[in-house]
Amino acid sequence: MSVRILALVGSLRAGSHNRQLAEAAAKHAPAGVDVELFEGLADVPFYNEDIDVEGSVPAAAARLREVAGGTDAFLLFSPEYNGTMPAVLKNAIDWLSRPYGAGALSGKPVAVVGTAFGQYGGVWAQDEARKAAGIAGGAVIEDAKLSIPASLTRFAETHPADDTEVATALTEVVARLTEQAAPAAA
């Protein structure tokens, strides 16, 4: 049995610590678990029902849906922008929530983690991402959390994959997500 987890990173910045956190999740994933980082969220247009028409969905949004449809679970990485999640992550959730009741998120396990500069590690943004993913139909795993504060100093010279405490906590989140996704993947 193999479990496929799609990682959606809410930061588009090249040196993003949340992207590095996603890379760490992929690196430390247990055997039989594939954590794939989705590339291309910046290309997905803002959700608009007028362009979400069968046969003419924008290519980037169609690709997101296609890749997401073939996965067993989602791992969302959210920094905190002005007290909430970045627009690019919310936009991905919106595209994956459609068609209503049958979107790629529907019924699939979702965990939300992240890091931010502040003292709480982006917890507000991550709570908002959990809320949005749940409303969109995802099966949010409320006890699979990881908020890492002080990202600019903590990861100034150390990649999250090389931070033992972070790698251990992230591995626990991936294991919990895998546990929930395994029955569907079998």
As a whole number, mean pLDDT of residues 60-66 equals: 98
pLDDT at residue 149 greater than cutoff 70: yes
Strands 33-37 and 109-115: unpaired
- Residue 160, pLDDT > 90, answer yes
Q: How many CB atoms lie within 10 A of CB 17?
A: 23
Asked if the peptide bond before residue 99 counts as cis, ω within 30 degrees of 0, the response is yes
Helices (H) and strands (E) counted in the chain, each on its own, are 6, 5
Q: Is the pLDDT of residue 183 over 80?
A: no
pLDDT of 48: 97
Tokens representing residue 28 in the block: 């430390």
Tell me the pTM.
Answer: 0.96
| Tokens 């626990």 sit on residue | 172
Q: State residue 185's pLDDT score.
A: 64
pLDDT in the model for residue 182:
78
Question: 16 and 9 in contact (C-beta within 8 Å)?
Answer: yes
The count of residues in the chain is 186
Supply the angle between the helices 123-135 and 87-96 in degrees, to the nearest 10: 20
Q: 96-107 pLDDT, tens per residue?
A: 999 988 999 999
> Domains of the chain, with CATH numbers?
3-185 (3.40.50.360)
Quote the pLDDT of residue 42: 97
- The per-residue pLDDT for 120 is 86
The whole-chain average pLDDT of the chain stands at 95
